[in-house]
Amino acid sequence: MARILIVEDEPDMRELMARKLESAGHEVASTRTGAEGLAMLQSSRPDLVLLDVQLPDTSGLSFCTTVRADAELRDTLVVMISASAGQEEVDAGLAAGADDYVTKPFAPSKLIQRVEALLSTDR
């Protein structure tokens, strides 16, 4: 069982991801803003963050860059989630330090597979 933090401003998407991850056996916490997400990340140290690229208070790119710059957080797995599927957006997400980039809409089963694959890798 992994601890996963979802940072997603859309309630329905946040709820769907949380339900699917919980049914796959993971412990899930979630929030809708980057500021809350960073605070939760610092206090609870999840194994993986599912991060929306477009948050109401910051961009997922800035959030990810902040995580990678913090010595205590930099090894946290980050999966960016976005409706932007263009190669430039994907490249920007990966350049900011994301471990993976998933585009919306996605099949929940595919998201679980990608999360499981990342969690099984040695970092």
Residues 8-34: pLDDT tens digits?
999 999 999 999 999 999 999 999 999
Hey, what domains does the chain have and what are their CATH numbers? 3-120 (3.40.50.2300)
pLDDT tens for each residue of 67-119: 999 999 999 999 999 988 789 999 999 999 999 999 999 999 999 999 999 99
Q: Looking at residue 85, what is its pLDDT?
A: 78
Element (H, E) at 23: helix 11-23
**What are the C-alpha distances in Å from 98 to residues 3, 15, 22, 51, 118?**
17, 22, 22, 9, 11
- For residue 24, how far is the Cα from the chain centroid? 16
pLDDT tops 70 at residue 122: no
Q: In Å, how far are 16, 24, 45, 67 from 54, measured between CA atoms?
A: 18, 26, 22, 16
Decide the pairing of beta strands 48-52 and 77-82.
parallel
